[in-house]
Amino acid sequence: MADGSDCVLCCLCRCRDKGVNEEYEPLKNLLELSKQILTENDRGGYTIPAKGLYPYQWNWDSALVALGWATLDEGRAWQELEMLFSAQWEDGLVPHIVFHKPSPTYFPGPEIWGSVEQPMGTTGITQPPVAAITVRKLYEESVNKELAMQKAKELFPKLLAWHRWFQTARDPHGTGLVATLHPWESGMDNSPAWDEPLHNVPVDPIPPYVRKDLGHVDSAMRPKQEEYDRFLTLVYRFRAVNYDCTKLYFLSPFRVTDLCTNAVLYRANLDLRYSSSRERSQIPMRQNPWIQQSDQVLGDQSFDIFAAFRLFADGWQQSWARTRSRRRSMDG
């Protein structure tokens, strides 16, 4: 999509509006298969990303797949988001996985994020906040404006609470940029960008475990065992403090400033502000100063995105200060 080429969702949108004419005839089979996959992966209000490998509801996957559902059934598109936000925590967190129904094909499941005696209904981490972007797009392109207005209005305070959670839980120093505390939070779990910071995570004496992902796909396409040990070390450390958002930022040995997450959050904040203006919401948008600060940081020519990827236990302020100093000395 980034290179401007057609994607399935774009084609679905065009075909809904124009019908499948000669220009899109070669894509007809692909579109039908896309509809079939959405239908087959529908679990009654939420969509799983892949049978077996990913049998639950994933956060930003659902925010994106809702756009696909909108081309077929606008009500079902809104339901996708409603199911996701039904699992929102009291502190505003929207988890990266919601365990709606038990599944023996995935690890780590509810009993790892919680315990065998008290399995959790969700994970205790999040993902890039695409949902506010999706809500605006669903509203603007809706056919049923009355339904769209109602659903957008219902979701607005939940979205606002989630964005405020990012601001307080993942940017406690008020830098304008949020931290990612686990590679799974990025939505790009196996990115080489995490190799260095993940290598610096010490492996704790975690309980023995059996991976389920290797039974679904080639092991060459999955993280190595030593990486998985570090993934689980982080999960167990987070679980030990009951995922307390006031503690995780400071105790996590993996702490990076992910460009994608921050860019998504910045755009989502703008779309949330648009929604606030459209609905003449009485809820004060305390995000405004934070949006301006993020705009300044992301637009600062001295901001080194590669250094940002390397921000782990060293801390944001010290690393960025050195980056700015180094850049300015190079420029001067």
Residue with tokens 């010290």: 318
Whole-number pLDDT of residue 17: 52
Residue by residue, pLDDT tens for the chain (332 residues) are: 333 334 445 555 555 555 556 666 777 888 888 899 999 999 999 999 999 999 999 999 999 999 999 999 999 999 999 999 999 999 999 999 999 999 999 999 999 999 989 999 999 999 999 999 999 999 999 999 999 999 999 999 999 999 999 999 999 998 889 999 999 999 998 888 899 999 999 999 999 999 999 999 999 999 999 999 999 999 999 999 999 999 999 999 999 999 899 999 989 998 988 887 776 554 445 556 766 777 676 666 445 544 444 444 344 433 433 334 443 333 33
Q: What burial class does residue 17 get, using C-beta atoms within 10 Å of its C-beta: 0-12 exposed, 13-18 middle, 19+ buried?
A: exposed
Report how far residue 234's alpha carbon sits from residue 61's, in angstroms, rounded to the nearest whole number. Answer: 23
- Nearest-angstrom CA–CA distance, 232 and 212: 14
Q: Which domains does the chain have, with CATH numbers?
A: 1-40 (no CATH), 41-331 (1.50.10.10)
pLDDT at 2: 38
Q: How many Å apart are CA 287 and CA 127, to the nearest integer?
A: 19
